[in-house]
Amino acid sequence: DGGITQSPKYLFRKEGQNVTLSCEQNLNHDAMYWYRQDPGQGLRLIYYSQIVNDFQKGDIAEGYSVSREKKESFPLTVTSAQKNPTAFYLCASSITSYSNYEQYFGPGTRLTVT
C-alpha cells in the first residue's frame, strides 16, 4: 500500500534536546511538507521541499531544520532553539507543485517536551 509513514506516533523529550521526526513516503511524490498543528488551531507550514536536495522555509521555520537527501524521506529536526516545541507534527506530500493536486498526509507525530 502506498502512503506516508511517520514515526514514532508519540515522542517525549527533555527541554534542551534536539529531536528528529521521521517522514517516509512511497508514493513517488516530488513535493513534501512539514506542518505544525496546535490544539484547536489550523496547520502552519514549517518547511517544504519541491525536489531532492532542495527545501524552503515556511511560515514558522525558526527552531527547525530539515534535509531532503532522498526523494522518499524528509526528516524534521526540532532543535533546542524552538521555544514551544510541544505540538502535533504532520508530514505531507504531493505529486508536484501544481495547484490541481492534493496533499497526502501522514498520521502525525505528537511531540511532548518537558
Partner 1 sequence: GDSVTQMEGPVTLSEEAFLTINCTYTATGYPSLFWYVQYPGEGLQLLLKATKADDKGSNKGFEATYRKETTSFHLEKGSVQVSDSAVYFCALRMKTSYDKVIFGPGTSLSVIP
User: Can you give the binding site for partner 1, defined by CB under 8 A?
Assistant: 4, 6, 31, 33, 40-43, 45, 48, 50, 56, 58, 90, 92, 97-100, 102-108, 110
Name which of 33 and 85 has its Cβ closer to partner 1.
33
Q: Which residues contact 79 (CB under 8 A, 6 or more apart)?
A: 18, 63, 64, 65
Name which of 6 and 82 has its Cβ closer to partner 1.
6
In angstroms, give the least distance from the CB of 82 to partner 1: 21
Instruction: Give the whole-angstrom CA distance, residue 42 versus residue 74.
Output: 22
The neighbour count for residue 100, using CB atoms within 10 Å, is 7
Instruction: Give the whole-angstrom CA distance, residue 114 versus residue 99.
Output: 39
Name which of 4 and 78 has its Cβ closer to partner 1.
4
In angstroms, give the least distance from the CB of 106 to partner 1: 5
